[in-house]
């Protein structure tokens, strides 16, 4: 009777677990999956705050005329009232992956950082933008400067910091895509940059390539994949730039973010190097291709160099736990069986097929349930 009772309890646990697809099998898997979903929600850094020192802001010399300054100083004026509304929206509605700082002595200025989204070649990167409101805001859109460090990692983000976007009238677009004084907001602007600019297929942001998405020839696929590889390498270089020269007021965010994501970033480099995933498709708990993808020697070499450089940078910012990086995973052209199995099982299901741009990862978590069930039966039968 005791045996049957315990067996029934085990079966109930098994059924409940299987019928709840979002419930993770173990604390370890739960932690890993939490990390995969961006991890920014665990960072102890306020998404919106007001600071004082504005000395390193790109637009510090803007709005210096007496008339311009007065428009921001008038507490009853349209400009200041609208900016205060913007602050309130940012304070309450920012997503976990965007952080903003306003300035108490210069309400016309903002600084924002966007965390690159999973599933894109920009994943885990930090992308900083300086923003200035015009003195007739919101009649005209704000100006935006991207901290590019001389790198152009996206068709819309120039090496000189220019941001091309219809919403801020720096690129052509239909009227609904343009700035609308009564509707458009800074939050809309930041979310647009994250979703429309730092996306999974940045190659198609280039003028004249949009039609190619409906004609996915091998040549187009090759160009798309090559662009993603370049974008990812430049994103890695941007990570190094930000760790070596942390933007003011975001020092703790930079440190916390990369301490948290270091192992994931280096594991992704190793997976891309060994052909287990298309660039941007590194994720946890998914199947791998039966045959590794072809990776060019030049891309492998670049990944090895960035892996080593990032490893050192992560150690400097306080990531002290052991980290395995690409060059260690491929000594003498070979990779250990354990590392191969670990990395191969962390790539999204679409990674083996260049034409499957975005695919939902396949879950293998029920294997753990069966193991627990069988173990429970073995224990009961003792």
Q: Which residues are catalytic, by number?
A: 164
Distance CA 204, CA 196 (A): 11
Q: Which two tokens stand for residue 100?
A: 């903003």
Q: How remote is the C-alpha of 219 from its chain's centroid?
A: 27
Q: What is the dihedral of CA 53, 59, 63, 64, to 10 degrees?
A: 70
Report the phi/psi class of residue 302: left, alpha or beta, with left for phi > 0 and alpha for psi in -120 to 50: alpha
**Contact between residue 132 and residue 59 where contact means Cβ atoms under 8 Å apart:** yes
**Contact between residue 326 and residue 307 where contact means Cβ atoms under 8 Å apart:** yes
Q: Which residues are registered as beta bridge partners of 143? A: 132
Phi, psi dihedrals of residue 213, rounded to the nearest 5°: -65, -25
Among candidate residues 99, 89, 157, the one with its CA nearest the CA of residue 126: 99
DSSP secondary structure letters along 19-31: T-TTS-SSHHHHH
Reduced to 3 states, what is the DSSP secondary structure of residue 128? strand
Q: Which two tokens stand for residue 137?
A: 């805001």
Which distant-in-sequence residues (6+ apart) come within 8 Å of 279 by Cβ? 121, 225, 228, 229, 231, 232, 272
Q: Which residues are registered as beta bridge partners of 162? A: 145
- For β-strands 98-103 and 48-51, DSSP reports them as parallel
In 1-105, beta strands by DSSP E: 48-51, 98-103
Sheet of 143-146, strands arranged across: 48-51, 98-103, 109-115, 126-132, 143-146
């Amino acid at each position: 009777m005791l045996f049957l009772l315990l067996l029934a309890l085990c079966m109930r646990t098994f059924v409940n677990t299987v019928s709840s697809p979002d419930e993770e099998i173990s604390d370890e898997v739960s932690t890993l999956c939490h990390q995969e979903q961006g991890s920014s929600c665990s960072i102890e850094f306020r998404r919106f705050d007001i600071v004082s020192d504005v000395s390193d802001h790109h637009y510090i010399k803007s709005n210096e005329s007496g008339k311009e300054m007065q428009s921001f100083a008038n507490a009853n004026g349209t400009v200041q009232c609208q900016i205060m509304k913007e602050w309130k929206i940012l304070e309450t509605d920012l997503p976990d992956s965007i952080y903003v700082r306003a300035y108490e002595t210069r309400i016309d200025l903002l600084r924002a950082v966007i965390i690159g989204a999973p599933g894109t070649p920009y994943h885990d990167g930090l992308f900083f933008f300086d923003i200035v409101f015009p003195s007739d805001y919101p009649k005209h859109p704000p100006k935006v400067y991207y901290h590019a460090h001389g790198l152009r990692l996206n068709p819309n983000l120039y090496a000189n910091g220019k941001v091309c976007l219809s919403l801020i009238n720096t690129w052509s677009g239909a009227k609904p895509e343009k700035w609308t004084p009564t509707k458009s907001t800074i939050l809309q602007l930041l979310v647009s940059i994250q979703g429309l600019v730092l996306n999974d297929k940045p190659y198609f942001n280039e003028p004249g390539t949009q039609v190619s998405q409906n004609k996915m020839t091998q040549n187009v696929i090759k160009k798309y994949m090559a662009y993603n590889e370049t974008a990812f390498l430049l994103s890695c270089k941007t990570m190094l730039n930000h760790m070596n020269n942390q933007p003011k007021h975001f020092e703790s965010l930079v440190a916390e973010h990369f301490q948290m994501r270091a192992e994931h970033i280096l594991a992704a480099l190793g997976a891309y190097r060994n052909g287990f995933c298309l660039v941007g498709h590194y994720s946890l708990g998914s199947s791998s291709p039966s045959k590794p993808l072809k990776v060019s020697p030049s891309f492998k070499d670049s990944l090895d160099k960035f892996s080593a450089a990032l490893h050192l940078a992560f150690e400097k910012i306080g990531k002290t736990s052991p980290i395995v990086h690409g060059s260690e995973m491929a000594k003498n052209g070979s990779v250990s069986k354990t590392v191969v199995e670990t990395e191969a099982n962390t790539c999204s299901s679409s990674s083996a097929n260049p034409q499957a741009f975005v695919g939902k990862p396949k879950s293998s978590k029920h294997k753990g349930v069966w193991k627990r069930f069988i173990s429970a039966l073995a224990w009961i039968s003792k």
